[in-house]
Amino acid sequence: MASGTLPALPPLEKFLPVLSGPGHGGTGAPLGGASRAHAERHHERLVKEATALHSLVPDKEHAEYDELSAELTHPAPTRPPLPSSTTVNAQQHLPSVTVQSFLHTLMSDEHLPEYEEMMRRRANLTVARSTRDLKKAEGCMAMIDKREEEATIMAMCNSPLNDGESPEDRQERVDACKQRFQAAVEEYQRKKIELVVAEANLQAAEALFKKAEIVAMDARFQRAENIAEVTHTVKSFSSMIEASPREAFFVCDCDRYGLMSTYARVLTTTRTRWRAYPRERWFRYNDPRVPQPQVHCPLANLTVDLCDQSSYTMCGVVLRGNMILNSKVELAELLSKVQSTLAPPTFVLRGGCRADGTVEAAMVRVAAEHDPVWFLKDSEADYGRGITVLSSPLEYTKHLHSGRDYVLQAHVPRPLLYAGAKFHIRQYACLYFQADRGLQLMVYEQGWLAVARKAWVPYTSGAAEEVHVSRDRSLPWIEWEHYHTSFPILRDATRRCVRIARPKLLRMNQLGGAAVSKTRDAFELFGVDYMLDEEFQPTLLEFNTGPVVHETEERMIESMLSIVYPLGLSKADQDRQDEDDAYRWVPVNLDTV
């Protein structure tokens, strides 16, 4: 086919096996009825997309795109099974590049976050338009009611008295009608105001939708402009991973782990040999309780160098067993078993059930020795949410929900204050497991102080939660006057906590998972929150996995990845990073008692 001409896409009858084939979740059986109609619309859309996309691709790239388009005439191959090893090898070749899935991934609007935003704005616009129409109809009805009451008053005033009706009775009826008229006038005025508000909301929704529509269109054009680069990455994957020495490494964001997009962006922008690898839809959960039902994997089910889908990565971005630290309940039970001083007096309430009499008696005894302020923490909530402030430990019974686990903790006595307010310190810690070195820990030199919005008043509870809780970053930790005193204290506190959890973490990471046949390296970033008392004794509040990382903290991520996963890091990349690093990761010896 000559360059510059649109390739002839397959006719519908050849396209049907592709849609119904196992590679697209089908059975391979012929489609009919509504399914066939859907296939016809899908095929028509593909032709339009290909035509539009073809017009955007420079002539020199037409031949490569024509080759991909021609492969649509072949049925989708059966998906390969899950990899039995995390080793990337020559067996992981692309069988003629599964272009059906590739084109669907690349050209389907559903895969664009900008498209999802546009659809959300469209739904909001529909709601706003329906609300405006409803308010307009209600205003018309209110106007009709007003006019009817007005006409009734005029008729009563201009008509003679009814038989047996006295002037007083007539006046009473007129007064009652005037009251109804006044109510109708007020209702009409209220509906007019509501209509004005609804019109304003509609205009705002229309503006937001048009803006989202433009952004989505720009994203589609950007996607079309990048087709040559993505196509080259997919088609040359096999040769690149077989090269020795390797000159290209691949990261795939499957949208399963919150920090993966940051990892992918840092790797592809700071390491010259790293490339982004496209993803495709893998399967979908039917359980409505699953927050992200759509599950993705690297295109063609290939194992890449780094990915947040555990079955397809050489290195894990999540430690197995991280719930030992991340779960408030698991961590509280772990610390209580060794009677650690890192946590205040704590009681675990499982399943939302009330504790027995013995436990409640212990609560009362502990409360007599501590401040009369307690915290009930929902184990499923994090980032300072799901916390209820109590003035007595036995108040917990009013706030339990069936099926949920809770932690009931006493208040930290004599908390250290910042400008008269309570605060906690956010420390960043990285745990990483390597098969030849075991579990290792390092903490970052920089962190944050999160200061409460209001001054601390002892023994306050109930509605004054702003006195106790803050999720805001108020001050860089290193700018605090007590930084050099507090840093070694919290570094040691994190070491003690990880030492307690290390036996379980080692056991779970050495055993491996069902999809992994051998021990695999893994790392994970945690956000650790502490409070200090007046004597600088630390109290562990939370050990959060996947903490929120701002764009200004990506240097921290870059530095962390260079230590835990230096694969493909050139000397030039390392030298540039060493020059830019203002703060560093500090290794912590877990063998120190």
**Both structure tokens of 113:** 């976050």
User: Cβ(198)–Cβ(128) under 8 Å?
Assistant: yes
pLDDT for the residue 59: 44
Residue 165 predicted with pLDDT over 80: no
pLDDT for the residue 73: 36
Q: Poorest-confidence range of 210-224, 373-387, 503-517, 535-549?
A: 503-517
**Both structure tokens of 536:** 């600088």
Could you tell me the pTM of the whole model?
0.66
Nearest-angstrom CA–CA distance, 221 and 218: 5
User: Over 478-504, what HEC string results?
Assistant: HHCCCHHHHHHHHHHHHHHHHHHHHHH
Looking at the DSSP bridge assignments, the partners of residue 588 are 441
The pLDDT tens digits for 535-565 are 999 999 889 888 988 888 889 999 999 999 9
**Both structure tokens of 582:** 């203002």
Please state, in angstroms and as integers, the Cα–Cα distance from residue 255 to each residue in 220, 284, 309, following that order: 20, 13, 9
User: Is-cis flag, bond preceding 10, omega within 30?
Assistant: no
The pLDDT tens digits for 391-414 are 788 888 888 888 888 888 888 888
| Type of residue numbered 243 | A
pLDDT for the residue 167: 81
CA atoms within 13 Å, Cβ hemisphere of 478: 8
Residue 105 predicted with pLDDT over 80: no
Residue 75 predicted with pLDDT over 50: no
| Size of the chain in residues | 593
**Both structure tokens of 403:** 């099926």
Residue 80 predicted with pLDDT over 50: no
Q: Poorest-confidence range of 71-75, 205-209, 267-271, 345-349?
A: 71-75
Residue 52 predicted with pLDDT over 60: no
| Type of residue numbered 266 | V
Nearest-angstrom CA–CA distance, 281 and 259: 20
pLDDT for the residue 48: 55
The pLDDT tens digits for 334-379 are 888 887 888 888 888 888 788 877 888 888 888 777 767 888 888 7
The residue that leads in pLDDT, 92 or 40, is: 40
To which H or E segment does residue 170 belong? Answer: helix 167-225
To which H or E segment does residue 539 belong? Answer: strand 538-545
Question: Edge-to-edge, what's the strand order for the sheet holding 406-410?
Answer: 346-349, 406-410, 374-378, 387-390
User: Cβ(423)–Cβ(451) under 8 Å?
Assistant: yes
Nearest-angstrom CA–CA distance, 555 and 482: 24
CA atoms within 13 Å, Cβ hemisphere of 487: 20
The pLDDT tens digits for 463-488 are 445 555 566 788 999 999 999 999 99
pLDDT band at 221 (very low <50, low <70, confident <90, very high): confident
pLDDT for the residue 71: 38
Based on its alpha-carbon atoms, the radius of gyration of the chain, rounded to whole angstroms, reads 32
The pLDDT tens digits for 424-444 are 999 999 999 988 888 999 999
Nearest-angstrom CA–CA distance, 237 and 200: 52
Mean pLDDT over each residue of the chain, to the nearest integer? 77
pLDDT for the residue 153: 80
